[in-house]
Structure 1
């Protein structure tokens, strides 16, 4: 049992009620669930608030195998004991919203939904420039900083100039600016192969 949760309770605990992620990254919603010891869990489901979180359709349902209505980006990484964690790969703005876990046991009344859920916000990376209101001239220097609501790991960020990778990390320093410095600068997340994702 977890502190404050009795083993006889029907209960779902979401580690984070609010999650913010960069578009294109992957997210894990950490989740635990509890029920009376005499019960046996038969099925687990995850729903999104745009559908009925009690009756579905669900974005994941352990009863339905090879469901063509379910995106391959959604993965249940928990079990049928107490771990209800859920993974979403390559999040998009369309994934924004509340996610809710539901489980069903072997008893007649053995149905429970953790209705408080966990809410995902998906944002784009933004670039902040030091001395933003300043007009730069040849020989000046400037810092470009890649920011989002999710601090993430600097090693996950890569800078591109005119589509070509030039730097890794959150901050790009441009010193001794010249005409050679002009171009289209973009910060991006790496994908699992270490390549920059499409901005």
Structure 2
């Protein structure tokens, strides 16, 4: 079956197909060891919807759908045992829906709160609250990540100093790589 676009609606350009999504730009062609990249990103971040403005999005510009109000949607693919370390969105809400697998969410500046979510469970983390997540299921996990409010740019996300130290422990050049992509670390 093929898609049809009723005359004048423009809806044909507002369809995103999972099999055609591509990773965010920084995840393609880097020379980072996988265990270092896993400290910052889900194994694959697949943008679905991005804002239509010109803000430098942390999720890149490759989403097939641009502009859906004040939100973005990305799929986060995580093999078993993986997920990004604690980080904070300073001005935006980050709402997660588990689509496949089980995920443990760690919340708070020192990771003092935890919650395990099953498929179709949802958690919404407000601005300023540190969060991390890890796929605790045996197989690949998939999250839908919706970002709303604030400005969805690279200046919104900050990683704690301990993440910077851990990355630098594998090589200062790896920390420099992430900083060159606009990521911020409390150093």
For the criterion TM > 0.5, the same-fold answer is: no
Higher helix content, 1 or 2: 2
Which is greater in Rg? 1
TM range (shorter): under 0.3
The normalised TM-score by structure 1 is 0.26
The normalised TM-score by structure 2 is 0.27
Higher strand content, 1 or 2: 1
